[in-house]
Amino acid sequence: MHQSVLITGASSGIGEACAIFLAHKGFRVYAAARRLDKLRNLEGIAGGRITPVAMDVTDDESVADAIETITSDGVSLYGLVNNAGVSVMGPIETTPIEEWRRQYETNVFGLVRVTQAVLPMMRAAGRGRIVNIGSIAGRIAAPFQGAYASSKHAVEGVTDALRREVEPMGLKVSLVRPGFINTPFGHQEQESLEAHTAEGEPYAGAVRKFKAWHAKGHPNAPGPNVVAEAVHAALTAEHPYSRYTAPAKNLGPLVMRNLLPSAVADRIFKRLTGLADIEKKPNLGKSDN
Ligand SMILES: NC(=O)c1ccc[n+]([C@@H]2O[C@H](COP(=O)([O-])OP(=O)(O)OC[C@H]3O[C@@H](n4cnc5c(N)ncnc54)[C@H](OP(=O)(O)O)[C@@H]3O)[C@@H](O)[C@H]2O)c1
């Protein structure tokens, strides 16, 4: 009997790569997302071990219906990969509160909602694995990434608390932190930044610089399989780590983050992102800095 795993956000990028990778490794995969048409492309892969499931993680009814569809097959999920995510980028000052809400509704409350829906069957079985997809941004917050980075900081906290709560019941919880990965996510982030570069936007000059730096990140990054490998390890290791970093080279910045004083880290960010070239002066709503 194949172990069953539910992956959210499986219609693209990392989630899709995880679905294919895990199905080839013998898992029965429930691949969930809003775009069912995209999920249907996965149906014939790995001997038909991938089943598409419509799910919007921001919607109670949609999540309940999806879990009902899975369990009505008599399936008890062994694994949950909380991967669905969006990225809202832009200055904290000018990012509308509705956009902050959209960020947290998916990355934080969506993750908690699906976890709550799956935990009763895992507790009843006395076994199960939950793998949350965080980000390097869950430890290191770049400028103009406040909404996204803070949502991933929240995922770090949720993961730590959950791991400690459910360990006595035989359940294991891990966090996988990707760095830049080459998926459509980068386009979404670039579009999100674009809105803040218009003439008259108070941070336009700085956002343009940051956007140019950010544009180089995703196309030159590794593909999503590097994350799928870490997810597989978290689902199958006898004693999984609490955190995996993918690719592993990103451990460097994470270690530095803990060692360097904030003032030094701030200077490194300024250099990396080109913000050091921006003249320090009061900005009275002009966008020419
Ligand atoms: N790519 C990177 O560089 C990177 C780095 C660090 C962390 N991450 C994290 O990795 C995860 C996946 O990102 P990715 O790079 O694979 O991005 P992606 O290619 O844009 O995929 C995002 C997935 O999330 C799904 N999704 C978004 N909102 C949803 C909702 N309300 N309900 C259900 N599914 C939803 C999308 O499916 P539908 O639109 O069909 O619903 C899609 O399948 C995210 O949590 C992201 O924060 C990515």
Contact 108, 155 (CB under 8 A): yes
Query: What is the signed CA dihedral for 156, 233, 9, 27, rounded to 10 degrees?
Result: -140
What pLDDT, on the 0 to 100 scale, is given for residue 278?
76
- Ligand 1 centroid vs 286 CA: distance in angstroms? 34
Residues 6+ apart with CB under 8 A from 98: none
What pLDDT, on the 0 to 100 scale, is given for residue 274?
77
- Of 30, 78, 148, 244, the catalytic one is 148
What pLDDT, on the 0 to 100 scale, is given for residue 286?
52
Look up 148 and say whether it is catalytic.
Answer: yes
Could you give all domains of the chain from N- to C-terminal order, each with its CATH number?
Answer: 4-183+222-258 (3.40.50.720)
What pLDDT, on the 0 to 100 scale, is given for residue 273?
81
Q: Given the CA of residue 15, which atom of ligand 1 is nearest to it?
A: 16
What pLDDT, on the 0 to 100 scale, is given for residue 78?
98
What pLDDT, on the 0 to 100 scale, is given for residue 236?
98
Mean pLDDT, the chain, rounded, equals 94
Q: What single-letter amino acid sits at 282?
A: P
Q: pLDDT tens, 208-222?
A: 999 999 999 999 999
| Residue 89: how many other CB atoms lie within 10 Å | 27
Which residue has its alpha carbon closest to ligand 1 atom 7?
Answer: 135
Within 7-142, residue ranges assigned H as helices are 13-24, 36-40, 60-71, 97-104, 111-125
pTM: 0.96
Taking Cα atoms as reference points, which of 223, 219, 240, 249 lies closest to residue 18? 223
Residue ranges in the chain whose pLDDT is less than 70: 1, 279-289
Taking Cα atoms as reference points, which of 74, 39, 73 lies closest to residue 53? 39
Which residue has its alpha carbon closest to ligand 1 atom 41?
Answer: 34
